[in-house]
Chain A
Amino acid sequence: MDGLEVVRIEKSYGATAVLKGLNLECRPGEIHGLLGQNGSGKSTLTKILSGITRADSGTIRLGAKEIDLKTPQLAQKHRILTVFQELTVLPNLTVAENLFLGLEPTNKLRMVSVRDLHKRAAEALKQLGIENLNPRQMAGQLSVAERQIVEVAKALMRNPYVLILDEATASLGPKESQWVFEQARRLAERGNIVLFTSHRLEEVERHADRISVLRDGVRVLEVARGEVDTEELVTVMLGYKVEQLYPRRPHVRSTRPVLAVDHLSVGHKVHDVSFTVGEGEILGIAAMPGQGQRELFYSLYGEMPSRGDITINGQRVRLRSPRDALKAGVCLVPEDRKTEGLLLPLGIGHNLSLVILDRLARAGIVRRRREREEIQPQCQQLRLPIDRLREPVGSLSGGNQQKVVLGKVLLNQPQCLLLFDCTRGVDVGTKAEIYRLMANLSAQKVGMLFYSSDLQELVNLCDRVAVLYEGRLIKVFDDHELNEEEILKVAVGLNQAQEPITLSHKARNLP
């Protein structure tokens, strides 16, 4: 067969088999969607195809010829280019240096001409339709979305025959995602192959010509677009039927606020924001990337200084550090599991007990039995693998890692929970569990402020949704008004008769 063919690939890490004889075919000229839960082996396959890790056995054929992808350089030589799930943009290099890494335009002395580099980077960006990215900017100062764009641009510039996008749209807004798929389509139309993974099912259904579904390291389904419906895809993916993704819960309209925010401003990013979250209420925040949502959440968690009043459970509080916030009963579940909240080399048990060490310790000595007693029920509630308590958290799949973060947070018994895009990059199964957990917490009268880049989630889970735009809350949708399309219109600023947001945002969402 022409195109890319993966035959009976096997890969284990120690005793855990990740890929168990995986087959996959991508035809020239097609966009191929790869679906699967977290931990089903998508990223592992990606890494094998880009020469980062080696398969234990199996064959890879490109254009009917067997190829050996021993190193990343070899993969690039075969014009297999990958956008990895973890960003590989180097923060201490400029955008231009990142784009041309390994392809620097050099003179006879092998010296890089900086002016030439910037000029060519600007041209390349322009050709790809990215107007507002400065090639001289340090990549470390870009927002996550912008870095992701740089990552995709970097792959596109290298003229890929096979372009692999592993969760490339996870941190992107609708506009940027659309750009990514336009580029993918253009590439495919010229006879190339695009293989992409995404946790947004509708994205896969809309853009993939064919879809392969992975489960536990094997392909369980291969279909053309439209051959099966969403529900069936989910069922195949999980291996069981999800009765209900979004739990049914009563609409909460509480008069007792657990969190009241009055005229809150954070730096130049959040302006004069006021709202309340009632007991058991889930208040959604809808926003395009970089509208100040990060600053809002992190200031409520004490990680950023703010002006204005914050009242928690009727008490006015000053939050100068996360410690203050925790004391007041506020917890944050962040989106970035890798860098925030988890100690990757430590085990689940240690990560969990870290938060409650003072409860566990007597005279400074941790009582191990007490530790087990407290942690085991938590693991059961979250359906964490209890037999793997000692394994480093870094080796767990993304969904399980996020559950460990949640477990940590819940051990603190918070009254107010800040959920910052905590379902991003998490598979449907885990998502359903997180939703169920949220519903339970709501029943226990925990108030939640919930930002998600997935509007569908907001609409289905929240009691109210407030839209943040350029640092201001510009509209609040009540339960009966919740509608994805309407929210989106407001979130992109359309109702203000303003220009729609361009690809690279003026407001930067990193502190």
Chain B
Amino acid sequence: MTQPEILTESGKRMPLRRLTAVNPVIYAFLVMLIVDLLLQPAIFSVSEFGDQIASALPLMFVAFAQTLVVLTGGFDLSVGGILVITNVLTATWLSSGTHRLGLLIVIVCIGMILGAVNGVLIAYVRFESFIATLGTWAIYDGIALTILPTDGGTVPAALTNFVNGSIGPVPTAYLIFAVLILVALYIHRHAYGTYLKATGADAESARRNGIKISQVRLGAYILSGFFCALAGIYLAAQTGTGTPTAGDGYILQSIEAVAIGGASFLGGEGNLLASIAAVFVLTFISNIVFALNLQPYVAVIASSVLLLAAVLVKSTRQLFGGRQG
């Protein structure tokens, strides 16, 4: 077959194109990694880095959830609410001692049902996602506080030991992280990943292409609930207790991570792996701030500056790169 003209034309500009086509979060990741490495090389031993991953995992789960919803062109503010409900359930139900695995599965399912409530409100009742999840966030938070008014409860030692320990020589955190990466790759390669992007970019066009957009949206919120439940359970297992107020911090941070990962809040654009990389960037920033003995709020400022930089890179690209719409 003849070489398509279009290919050869863009091929001329290849070298520079390649560099700018890379998601900028990769550069941020590398820079922060190197700075962090120079400041405190000790962190990067296998076990120390495992701890780093472990402390970043809950946010990774939530950022994962958020990315899926943002891809459809929505917001999920209730991620914090689902996280705390599943968190306190883990800390209260599992202490009784029987059917622990079954109960864990039930808790995950509850997370998915809570996500489905959002999904139905947004995909079928046609609420704005922002408003719908603003409402359910408050309700879910309230439910969590009813179940467990203050920090407490207990998580079985077996579970805590499992997530904080290692399987053979490998810390569990690495394994969970690896599975998360595989799941991210799977979703992006699955036809559903394409439908998510299509629905987010232009729902009406997607519908006319025969995509069941309501189901796609509902699916995104159910998956979001699933990953928030994992975050809630993981957090409970990690700390050994339930924390009914743990959720709120994750909401903005997850949105921040998704933005630094280069997703578009108009929908249709975003990458699960990039969001995970962005969570690492945020982790590295707080490490660096800690190593330099600065006040914690410096980390907040630094990550916000980074967030604005990410948005700036995006908008300048749209200005100078090809039009997308």
A265 in the interface (beta carbon within 8 A): no
Q: How far is the CA of A42 from the CA of B1 in the complex (A)?
A: 40
In the complex, the answer to whether A137 meets B209 with C-beta atoms within 8 Å is no
A133 in the interface (beta carbon within 8 A): yes
In the complex, the answer to whether A93 meets B208 with C-beta atoms within 8 Å is no
Closest A residue to B9 using CB positions? A506
Dominant secondary structure at the B interface: helix
Identify which of B190, B198, B211, B325 contacts A110 (C-beta below 8 A): B190
- The residues in A between 78 and 119 inclusive whose CB is less than 8 angstroms from any CB of B are 82, 84, 86-93, 97, 101-102, 104, 106, 109-112, 114
- What is the total number of residues of chain A having a CB less than 8 Å from a CB of chain B? 44
Identify which of B6, B190, B198 contacts A101 (C-beta below 8 A): B198
Q: Known contacts A72-B208, A73-B210, A112-B189; decide if A131 and B4 are in contact (CB<8 Å).
A: yes
A367-388 contact mask (Cβ, 8 Å, vs B): 1 or 0: 0000000000000000000000
Identify which of B5, B210, B269, B323 contacts A72 (C-beta below 8 A): B210
Dominant secondary structure at the A interface: loop
B2 in the interface (beta carbon within 8 A): yes
Q: Which residues of B contact A132 (CB under 8 A)?
A: 4-6
Q: Which residues of B contact A111 (CB under 8 A)?
A: 186, 189-190
Identify which of B206, B208, B323 contacts A84 (C-beta below 8 A): B208
In the complex, the answer to whether A140 meets B323 with C-beta atoms within 8 Å is yes
- Count of A-B residue pairs with CB < 8 Å: 104
B324 in the interface (beta carbon within 8 A): yes
In the complex, the answer to whether A504 meets B198 with C-beta atoms within 8 Å is no
Q: Which A positions have Cβ atoms within 8 angstroms of B?
A: 50, 52, 71-73, 76, 82, 84, 86-93, 97, 101-102, 104, 106, 109-112, 114, 122, 126, 131-134, 136-138, 140-141, 154, 339, 502, 504, 506, 510-511
28 A-B interface contacts by CB (under 8 A): A50-B208, A71-B212, A72-B207, A72-B208, A73-B210, A73-B212, A82-B208, A88-B205, A88-B208, A90-B209, A91-B201, A91-B324, A92-B200, A92-B201, A92-B268, A92-B324, A101-B198, A102-B210, A102-B211, A109-B186, A111-B189, A122-B1, A138-B322, A140-B325, A154-B209, A339-B325, A504-B5, A510-B322
20 further contact pairs, Cβ within 8 A, besides A131-B2, A506-B5: A73-B212, A86-B205, A88-B202, A89-B205, A90-B198, A90-B201, A90-B209, A91-B324, A92-B198, A93-B198, A102-B211, A110-B190, A110-B192, A114-B189, A122-B1, A131-B1, A134-B4, A138-B322, A140-B325, A141-B322
Instruction: Across the A-B interface, give the 10 residue pairs with the lowest CB-CB distance, nearest first.
Output: A88-B205, A140-B324, A134-B4, A111-B189, A134-B6, A92-B268, A92-B201, A141-B322, A104-B191, A88-B208
